[in-house]
Structure 1
Amino acid sequence: MAGHNQIKQGNDIEESYPLSPMQQGMLFHGLSAPHSGVDIEQVVATLAEDVNVAALHQAWERAVERHAILRTGFHWGGSQPRQEVHRHVRLHFEQKDWHGLPQREQQSRLNAYLEAERRHGFELSVPPLMRVALFQIGEGKHILAWSFHHLLLDARAIAALLIEVFNFYEAFCQGRDLELPPPRAYRDYIQWLQKRDWSAAETFWREQLKGFATPTPLVISRSAGQAPDRPRGHSVEQVILPATEAAKLRVVAKENGLTVNTLLQGAWAVLLSRYSGEEDVLFGVVRACRRSSVEGASSTIGLFINTLPLRVRVAAETRVLDWLKELRAQNLAMRDHEHTPLVEVRRWSDVPPGPPLFESIFDFQDPSWDAVLRAQGGKFEQRVFAIHNQPNFPLWVDVYCGGEITIKIGYDQARFDGATIARMLGHFQTVAKGMVADLSQRVIDLPLLTDAERHELLVEWNGTQADYARDRCVHELFEAQVERTPNSVALVYRKEEVSYRELDNQANRVARHLRSLGVGPDVTVGICVERSAEMVVGLLGILKAGGAYVPLDPAYPKERLVFMLEDSAAPVLLTQQPLQDRFQFQIRNCRVVCLDALRHTTRHTKAESALRSTVSPDNLAYVIYTSGSTGTPKGVELPHRGLVNLLAWHQRTYGVTPQDRATQLAGFSFDASVWELWPYLTAGASVYVVDDETRASAPGLVQWLNARKITLSFVPTPLAEETLTLPWPEHGPLRAMLTGGDKLHRRPDPNLPFGLVNHYGPTENTVVASFAPVAPAEDGANPVPPIGRPIANVRAYVLDRLLRPVPVGVPGELYVGGDSLARGYRNNPALTMEKFVPHPFSDKPGERLYKTGDLVRWLPDGNLEFLGRMDHQVKIRGYRMEPGEIESRLNQHPLVRESLVLTREEGRGRKQLVAYLILKQPAAPASKELSDFLRTKLPDYMVPPTFVFLRAWPLTPNGKVDRNALPAPEESNRQSRQTFVAPRNHLEETVAKVWSDVLGRAPVGIHDNFFELGGHSLLAAQAVSRLKESFNFQLSIRSLFEKPTVAELAREVARRMSRHNAQRAPAITRVAREAYRAVRPSPEARVELAKHD
């Protein structure tokens, strides 16, 4: 489009005047993304009548002659754009005969035509910005397709213009002319706007938006578990409320002093609130803006609408009617200020520069433009009109009122899928019907889910009931297994093998000793040992004595070990002689017993029978200490019941038999060690304890597993992901690798010779709460695996902050319940009460749910998708985001194996995103390549400016990624803004000076970001126009978005100037309209820029 805004056509310019604020925004997006289809409107009329083509063509031409707006082109010269009305233009009118084609072929051609028209767009400086086509599809059957740019017309003008065109058409068909009074000029409205004083509007909007700093997030984006090859463009889902429902809505609104618009706006606000978890929501509303001092504005052909923010505080405890009346009053108060430019409203708000003020808009038309046409009667009653529009927002709601009410939700297919939007549409209806049914209820009580959805979420997907030995304890099940397979190998460590009988005897002796020291039900015993057979002997001995074991990692600092022993009130500590020196400190009322010495002295004594069990399934089996948010470890108390349920589920699910060989690989202070031992030792399988050297090396582990013919192995997630990249024997012994403990980022290769199963579970739910077999990656895609469905006798609920179930696809906090819950936190009743809450959906007294703090969502197939920790959510430049979403997109890059995104604080107290990456090969891609890749999938504000490449993750002793050990980004890896750097050359000085003038900010440094300094779309266009004048060559607006710092843009200018000077050609003074029409759009030409408005 270079040079087009310089086109002059002699004396053909009739008049020139500024743009309305709405036109300015549309012009900016039209220039930035000319082939995106944004703001291209298309009216399709089905005409069941014979058509006089010449008369119809003449009618359209007469309308163009009458209305200056239809002969208007748009130019950006200097600091402000202008619209120029041409005296003479040529309307593009075409006709085609399709009536011999099958109906399906006709529809296919029509769809292709409309899509091509949208992508082709318009040269905005060359009027008319409209094209008309007529297709004959049968005898007496035609389709009229009218494409135009939204810069020209709003819905009311569309209806008025079509009425006028068809009135002219009928007259011309009868051989007569039609005399109409001269139309009111759109210029009059612009002149009225130019005289407005915005001071009162500024006061109003500042008060309306005071304290609102975080835009309402659209949290229903496509799942990270979906393949990256998704459709592009926009689509629409719609529902039609029949006339009876529409009439009821009108009656209820009228009887209560409301409008249907207010009711439906309220329903949308409630829906956004429930989806986002925010009580204070904001969305855009389209205002007709025909109420002005310009006489005849109501019938003027032109663009009068304006999109403005509507902030709604969803007062949970307020009666629906009272709340809706407040919303109605808010809409009325907006009327005096509805002409205010959105860019100014955005500037007056408290939302930081960068993110959009809103990402969804609500447009209500009553009567709708097509209802106005039908109301004309005559042939209009048989003509069927439809419209295709694509606003520059990712989500929009159009409500058209007639006898019926049509509700459409349009959406960006790159961000949302049709099934999700269809569910959203259903929830919108449910809320609206709930309001109509009972306006006296509280807002909090409005229904969102249908009865069927609620039953699915609460009952069907939690149908996990299964039998297990509810009256037995773990050690009792082990003892029963000893009787079945006494001579089978129970335990292997290095070269030592221990049979079931030997393990039982040694554990019995430990148990008797512990019992003599006072160990019994709910008495804790600390155990601090190195990886060995003695570790298992000690654990089993504690259980047989009736106690609960407290595993203590020898690598822990002394201070942490002392706290855990004292907090657990363990009267006995089992350890080993080499570790005894670690406990030469005073531990109150705790006796230290060396397990290796005890085992050695009793190894050759005769077998002893087990002690009589004195514990019940409700007594504690173990206490695991996990990290606490306060920095103090918290002890989680787990009873036998949950552990027995876990091992029963595990044995059924994985078909454990005495022929299996399993591993004990996790650190034994990590609760996964519980899961690695007892399901196998109660089923007759052999457990191989992995030595420290092997568990530290992925290649070494693969070799070790194959050499020992391991059939089932749990491998912590980071290590598992590393092993998946290594070669495995085609017919190896391993039949399943179980993983968990961290977010799984990748799927296995289709040729992996064993199954991979992902597990999720907090310590507070006895290790595992859900599981999912992981299907191989297909077609090069690597969508993130889900965490699956709840295991037997465990129930999972995704709830909002008020403990209400959220819909499929909507993020919420995961709560788990059932037979595997912990008793609570040791010596911490306040935390126990906070995290273990009464079960809101159960009638069983005392039943509880555990509040996990994990952000998840249900997928349509009933699997859970893990999104991240609630406390890992970040806010950058006022926009809340989930790093897990960025990670999932990064992992789709062909060179990225794994990623982790977090925030780090840089200079001036600002936070920035940092992406840590592990690659599939040594050669790192350029950061720009990664940035460009992400920008095709995410908004700009979610693209990390800094990438750090690692060979391996730093891990905690439990095998999880140690976030605190991740290195800070090197200064050379980032475009540092920690210190002010002044312009260093003429180009940087020029760019900085233009920015300073346009933004009203000084000084501007070379690393300052235009948008972080307060820039937005219109200011960007002004800056580019000024730079074009300074450098005397064309610079696109898109360049500023891609190079938003002074240094980056100056380098881009230097590159383009060099190329421009080398390839200079005579200046273009005129561009033929026909030449432009021959240009076909590039599919890469679309860029999403709505967020900067």
Structure 2
Amino acid sequence: MLFHSLYSPDSRLYLVQTLVELSGPFDEAAFAEAWRQVARRHPALRTAFVWEGIDRPVQVVYDAVDTPVVTEDWRDAAPDGQRKRMARFFAADRERGLDLQVAPLMRVTAIRVGEDRWSCVWTHHHLVVDGWSENVVLREVRELHEALRTGRSADLPETRPFADYLQWLQARDGEGEREFWRRRLAGFPAATPIAADRRASGPARREAIRTLHLSPAEAADLREFARRHRLTTSSVLQAVWALLLGRWSGEEDVVFGATVAGRPAELPGIERMVGAFVNTLPVRVALGPGATVLELLRAVQAESVELREHEHVSLSRIREWSELAPGQPLFESIVIVESHPALGLEAPADGGLRLDKRGADLDMGSPLVFLVRPRGEALGLSLLSDPRCFEPATIERMAGQVRPLLAAVLASPDQRLEDLWPGPDAGQAELLSAWNRTARRFSERDGWVHEWLGARAAAQPDGEAVAAGDGRLTYRELYERASRLANHLRRRGAGPETRIGICMERSADLLVAVYGVLLCGAAYVPLDPAHPAERLAFLHRDSGAALVLTTSRLLERLPEAARTAARASRSVPATSPT
């Protein structure tokens, strides 16, 4: 979190804005003092970070800090004007940000919107307070406010410092954790691709939100289904996301991120501690044919239980232990199912101040987030997307598939996964029919395919041309690599009337090979590496391919004559097929 925040300081990544509606008897001085006392109780609320001039960043706890609590009065504005003013306030507050080197990493603004109604905006950084801790803090603020307002003493339990958790964390078996995560992610070389409309560099910026609402009756059906099959609601929703991700990516082995509370039950008083315990872990789900919905649900549940024993490892460390190339993300989507204890102060029995937490606005640093939040007895299912990557229509189509997929899971637990999906929705019908109607009249006046590539590379050099599991290429990169290969092939005698075999798996290099052959004036002969050796030998012999482009890994699969032709194609320029 700290690395991402420093890497992109202008993105306001992990800056949290929590809105709490207050009603009932309210004392401004008591409210401000309550926040100060809560900060004195919890060291995490008095911390900042230092990283300059030292080997490793450290979190520094200060003995005392000035907790800023500001009050404003908006009673002169009509309700519609107050809503617009609040939107502007949130935008300006986010733009203001927080300096990670200055404690405290939070501020509070209490805005009077009615005679006995206030809106409290608590801005803080996710590095020091997670969602569970938010509710701990707000409960204590309310209790202290009531005690100060009425002149009685507050009856608050003793707290444990966040440092106790850090000491517990340091005592864990690091070698055992490394072996577990290496086994868990073995054979997974790249993040599950999402069918994004475009790619963006740098940390994600979440701005677009599309929310579905499950009614109290629908949410009750979900909980009853989970109870009947001895599952958690979270496991069911994670399985639904895995199915959706599999459909959009075309993969049968998918990985997404999932948040966990990260609070070890064996540490006494952990439920009252304040700090950043929450962690995001990679969840790997197999969607192979033949499995039933219930088998998938139980597999996801078993995965969740197993991960509980290994949920305290940082995501950066897990990435180091995986087979991904350095700098590559483990996943491109995150599932968040909020399950921390409810605030429970919406209707206090003592008739004092009521607190109604309306939600928290937070950027999670992922292009796509599936967020599940309780809404009383109902549930809100939201897709939070980076608008640099997804068009609104894409998110609308994806969101439109969540409810029918969830309904199909609940209705047909014994159905096979490949038979689960209901009939194509409007978006899928468009994908299958309209988007595949690519036929067009063609003549020599239109030019050739490789000429189109050159024209596009000149007109849109930095546009994304290829997205594959082994990397991405812009039009300029694709054209330059194909041109280098074409020059090499010409030096090997290739040209018009020459036939060149291509035996490669689906990858960016495969497209480089195809365009390279076309650019040198030759014709390419596809040699599918999945075919039997006899079939490859016939195709190579019958086509008369003088050269063969392949990879070192596939070379031994080719028949002897084709291997000889492949060796004759060696010494291809760097980053091109060999």
- The one-letter amino acid of 1:37's match is R
How many Å separate the matches in 1 of 2:353 and 2:373?
18
Match of 2:302? 329
Distance 1:413 1:446, change over 3 A: same
1:586-985 alignment runs, 5 A limit: 672-673=442-443, 715-716=445-446, 745=456, 874-876=468-470, 879=471, 881=472, 883=473, 886-887=474-475, 901=479, 903=481, 962-964=518-520
1:191 aligns with 2:164: no
Structure 1 partner of 2:17? 42
Q: Distance in 1 between matches of 2:335 and 2:347?
A: 25
* Cα contact 1:368–1:400 (8 A) shared by 2: no
Among candidates 96, 109, 126, match of residue 102 of structure 2: 126
Overall identity of the aligned pairs, in %: 33
Deviation at 1:252, TM superposition (A): 0.8
CA gap of 1:290–1:462, structure 2 versus 1, over 3 A, is closer
- Report how far residue 449 of structure 1 moved: 6.2
Q: What residue is the counterpart of 1:61 in the other structure?
A: 36
CA distance in 1, matches of 2:462, 2:189: 33
Whole-Å separation in 2 of the counterparts to 1:364 and 1:428: 15
Separation (CA, whole Å) in 2 of partners of 1:380 and 1:417 = 43
By how many angstroms is 1:411 displaced?
Answer: 1.7
Distance in structure 2 (CA, Å) of the matches to 1:138 and 1:374: 18
1:392 aligns with 2:365: yes
TM-aligned CA distance change 1:783 to 1:103, over 3 Å: farther
Does the 8 Å CA contact 1:279/1:314 hold for their aligned counterparts? yes
Q: How far apart, CA to CA, are the structure 2 residues paired with 1:81 and 1:375? A: 43
Q: CA deviation at 1:336?
A: 0.9
Distance 1:160 1:414 in 2: 35
Separation (CA, whole Å) in 1 of partners of 2:105 and 2:207: 22
Could you tell me how far apart the structure 2 residues matched to 1:199 and 1:747 are?
51
CA distance in 1: counterparts of 2:225 and 2:480, whole angstroms: 50
Q: 1:446 and 2:420 equivalent? A: yes
Partner residue, 1:295: 268
The correspondence of residues 1052-1071 of structure 1 with structure 2, limited to 5 A, is none
Note the C-alpha offset of 1:38.
0.5
* Partner residue in 1 for 2:118: 142
Residue segments in structure 2 that go unaligned for 5+ positions in a row: 485-514, 523-578
Q: Distance in 2 between matches of 1:223 and 1:67?
A: 41
TM-score by length of structure 1 reads: 0.41
Q: Note the C-alpha offset of 1:346.
A: 1.0
Aligned to 1:431: 405
Q: Is the 8 A contact 2:216 2:379 kept in 1?
A: yes
1:5 corresponds to:
none
Q: What is the alpha-carbon distance in structure 2 between the residues aligned to residue 455 and residue 170 of structure 1?
A: 58
Measured at CA, do residues 97 and 264 of structure 1 come closer, stay the same or move farther in structure 2, by a change above 3 Å?
same
Pick aligned residue for 2:135 from 159, 184, 204: 159
2:325 corresponds to 1:352: yes
Aligned to 1:115: 91
Output the CA distance in 2 between the equivalents of 1:331 and 1:324.
Answer: 11
Question: Matches of 1:124 and 1:310 in 2, distance apart?
Answer: 30
Report the CA distance shift for 1:453/1:123 in structure 2 as closer, same or farther (over 3 A): closer
Of residues 67, 71, 74 in structure 2, which corresponds to 1:95?
71
TM-score by length of 2: 0.76
Is 1:214 matched up with 2:194? no
In structure 2, give the amino acid aligned to 1:196.
R
Deviations, residues 43-71 of structure 1 (Å, cap 9, x unaligned): 11223445321111111111111111101
Summarize the Cα distance change of 1:311–1:420 in structure 2 as closer, same or farther, 3 Å threshold. same
Whether the aligned pair in 1 keeps the contact of 2:130 and 2:277 (CA below 8 Å) is yes
**Rounded Cα–Cα distance in structure 1 between residues aligned with 2:219 and 2:151:** 43
Partner of 2:530: none
2:25–2:353 CA contact under 8 A, matched in 1: no
Contact 2:22–2:354 (Cα < 8 Å) also in 1: no
Q: Report the CA distance shift for 1:431/1:963 in structure 2 as closer, same or farther (over 3 A).
A: farther
Kindly state the Cα deviation for residue 743 of structure 1 after the two structures are TM-superposed: 9.8
Q: Go from structure 1 to structure 2 and tell me whether the alpha carbon gap of 1:381 and 1:166 turns closer, same or farther (over 3 Å shift).
A: closer
The alpha-carbon deviation at position 119 of structure 1 amounts to 2.5
Name the CA shift for 1:163/1:903 in 2 (closer, same or farther; >3 Å).
farther
1:613-633 CA distances to partner (integer Å, 9 max, x unpaired)?
xxxxxxxxxxxxxxxxxxxxx
Pair 338,323 (structure 1): closer, same or farther in 2 beyond 3 Å: same
Contact kept? 1:98, 1:106, Cα under 8 Å = yes
Shift of 1:463: 13
Residue 120 of structure 1 and its aligned partner are, at CA, apart by 2.2
Q: 2:47 aligns with which of 55, 69, 72?
A: 72
What amino acid sits opposite 2:260 in the alignment?
Answer: R
Matches of 1:54 and 1:434, distance apart in 2: 54
Higher radius of gyration, 1 or 2: 1
Q: 2:58 is paired with a residue of what secondary structure?
A: strand
Q: Secondary structure at the match of 2:10?
A: coil
The answer to whether the 8 A contact 1:59-1:165 is kept is yes
- Residues 1:450 and 1:246: Cα distance change in structure 2 (over 3 Å): farther
Q: Distance in 2 between matches of 1:43 and 1:306?
A: 19
The aligned counterpart of 1:420 is: 394
For the residue of structure 2 that corresponds to 1:193, the secondary structure is helix
Deviation at 1:381, TM superposition (A): 6.7
Distance 1:157 1:905 in 2: 57
Does structure 2 retain, via aligned residues, the 8 Å contact 1:154–1:302?
yes
Describe the SS at the equivalent of 1:310. Answer: strand
Distance (whole Å) between structure 1 residues aligned to residue 467 and residue 155 of structure 2: 65
Residue type of the partner of 2:9?
A: P
The corresponding residue for 1:709 is none
